[in-house]
Amino acid sequence: MTQDTPEFWAQAAQQFQQAYGDSWLKLFQSFQGGHPGQGTAALPAMEHPVSIPPDKLQALQQQYVQDLAQLMQQGAGAAVTGDRRFAAPAWGENPLAAMAASTYLLNARLLMEMADAVQADAKTRARIRFGVEQWVAASAPSNYLAFNAEAQKKAIDSKGESIARGLQNMLHDLQQGHVSMTDESQFEVGRNVATSEGAVVYENELFQLIEYKPLTAQVYERPLLLVPPCINKYYILDLQPENSLIRYAVAQGHRTFVVSWRNPDESLAHTTWDDYIEDAVIQAIAVTCEISGAEQINALGFCVGGTLLGTALAVLAARGELPVHSLTLLTTFLDFSDTGILDVFIDENSVHLREQQMGQGGLMAGRDLSSTFSFLRPNDLVWNYVVGNYLKGETPPPFDLLYWNSDSTNLPGPFYAWYLRNTYLENNLVKPGKLTVCGEKVDLRKVDLPVYIYGSREDHIVPIPGAYASTQLLPGKKRFVMGASGHIAGVINPPEKKKRSHWIRADGKLPRTLDEWQQGAEEHAGSWWPDWAAWLEKQAGKKIAAPKKYGKGSKYKVIEAAPGRYVKQKA
C-alpha cells in the first residue's frame, strides 16, 4: 500500500482516530447524554442538564463527515494552515504528521462548535466551553513526541541531544515547581529588574513602603502612592528602566512611593481582608502623608491593588477622612458583575470548599494561583512551553515580564476566602452598606474624588466591561481610557516604544455601557501614559523643592535600599 492510495490515508486516519478516538467519542457522546463532565476530568461538574438541539447536532455531524471525507481525498496533499503549532516545515514534509494535525483540527473545530451549540444557562455554557478548550488544547498532537514531526526531526538532526536537553529541562522544572516560561537564570530582582533607585522607609508584617529618589529638581507637593496587586510582586511596575511605570512617574516630577507586599508564610496564615485594608493600605496612605507632609496624596491601584485601595477609601470616607485627593485604577474590578472567564471557577460549592479549607487559617499557594491564570490561555502559557522545553529541548529566551509572571506569591487563606465570596461570588462591594470592613459600612458612593480609570481591550483577567463598570459606580469626576492588548502588556506600554494604541472620548461622556462609550471614542496611536501624566499633573498641586533625603526624621529612617527584602521572598 503506497502513500498515493486512498486506502493508505483511510488507514492513517483510522490509526490516528484510534489513538485519540475513545476520548473524542466520549466527549462527543456526553453532550447527547445531558451531563457533560461526568467521567470527563477536564469539564467541571454541571448542576443542570444540558443538551444540543437534535437538528443542530445532526447538521454538525453531517458537516463533519463531509469535511472528513474531503480530507481523506486530499491524502498527501492535505495542508495544515492557520495554526502556528503546525507551522514548521517538518509537519508538511511528513505526510502522517500532516494528516494527524489536519484530523485533530477538524475534530477540535467540531467539539468547539458543539460547545457553542449547547442549550443551557450562560454560566453552564461558559464552563462547558472552557472545559472543551482545555481538553482540545491538551490533546493536540504537537504536545506528544510520538506525533510531533518537528520535535522528531530535531531529535534526529541533533542525534538525540534535544531529547537529552528536554529531559534536563523537565527535571529542572519539576524541581522548581513550575514550567519555565523564560530563562530565569538571566534575571535577579534588584540587579536587572526592580532597579529604580530608592529606599525602604517603613515596614510592618504585611508590606514595605519604598520611597524613590527624585529625578527632578522639583516635585509636586502631593506625592503618588502605588498599590500593586498582592497576588504578584510589585516590580511589574518597575521591570527595566525603559518600561518602568514607577520610573516614568518619578521622571514626571512625582514624589513616588510603592507598596511592596510581603510574600505570606505560615506566620500570616490567619491574616484577613480587614488586616490588609487597615494595616497595609490605610497605613501606607498615612505614612506617605506623614513623610511628605502633605494633607492629601494621589493614589494608584493596579488590579487587586485597586480593589483593596477602593475598599480602603470607602472605609476612610465612612470615618470622615479624605487623605487621598485623586485615584487611578488600572485594570481593576470594583463591580464584579462581569468577571469573564474566571467566573467558570466560582460558585457556592467551590467558594464554600475554600472557606472550609482555609477560611480560618492557611495559605493559598502561589503556584496554584499562577497555574490557574496560565490555563486561561493554555496554548500560549502552558503547552507552548511544554513542547519547547521538553520535546524540543529548547531554553526559552529571557523576557522580564515572563520572569515576573513566574515569581509567584502566596495569599493568606482567610483573605482569599473572603475575597472570593464577597467579590466574585456575591459582588458585595457595590451594595451600599452590605459589607462591614474595619468596623465601617462600605459605601463606594462616598468615595467622591477625581478618578482616572484604565482598562485593556483584550484583558482576560479584568475584562474591559468590568473595568468600565467603575465609571458608573464612583461619584466623582472621571476619565476613562481603553488601551490595546491585555492585562499586563496593555498597562506596561511606555511611550518610547511607540507600540499599540488607546481610545479616548473627547467629550468626556461616560454612558451606561462600554459599547455606547466606544461609539464616541477615538483611537490614538501609542501609549496612554502621557494622557495619564497630563491628568495627574492637574491633581498634583504646586511644585516644591525635591527632598534631599529619604523618609523623615527619626521616625521614618532608611531601613534598606530598594527593592528591599520582601520582594525577594519566594513562595
Q: Which residues are catalytic?
A: 303
Q: Which of 408, 111, 364, 399 is nearest to 232 (CA)?
A: 408
Cα–Cα distance measured from residue 441 to residue 568, given in angstroms and rounded to the nearest whole number: 36
In the structure grid, which three cell numbers stand for residue 134, read together? 482545555
Nearest to 487 by CA among 509, 450, 454, 447: 454
Which letter does DSSP use for residue 362 in this model?
Answer: -
- The grid coordinates listed for 259 are 507598596
Long-range contacts formed by 347-355: CB under 8 A, 24+ apart: 347/47, 347/123, 347/425, 348/425, 351/417, 351/420, 351/421, 351/424, 351/425, 354/413, 354/416, 354/417, 354/420, 355/417, 355/421
Q: Which residue has the cell 502605588?
A: 226
Compute CA distances 179 → 139, 273, 384, 529, whole Å.
18, 31, 10, 33
Please give the DSSP secondary-structure letter assigned to residue 126. Answer: H
- Hey, how many other C-beta atoms are within 10 angstroms of the C-beta on 413? 24
> Buried b vs exposed e over 512-521: b needs ≥16 C-beta within 10 Å?
eebeebeeeb
Dist. CA 376–CA 372, nearest whole Å: 7
* Strand pairing report for 218-220 and 297-302: unpaired
The answer to whether 311 and 274 have CB atoms below 8 angstroms apart is no
Q: Which three cell numbers stand for residue 187?
A: 534575571
> Quick one: which of 556, 515, 550, 489 has its CA closest to 245?
489
The Cα–Cα gap between 431 and 512 comes to: 18
For residue 261, the cross-strand partners are 207
Beta carbons within 8 Å of 206's beta carbon, 6+ residues apart: 261, 262, 268, 271, 275, 276, 279, 280
Chain-centroid distance of CA 257 in Å reads 24
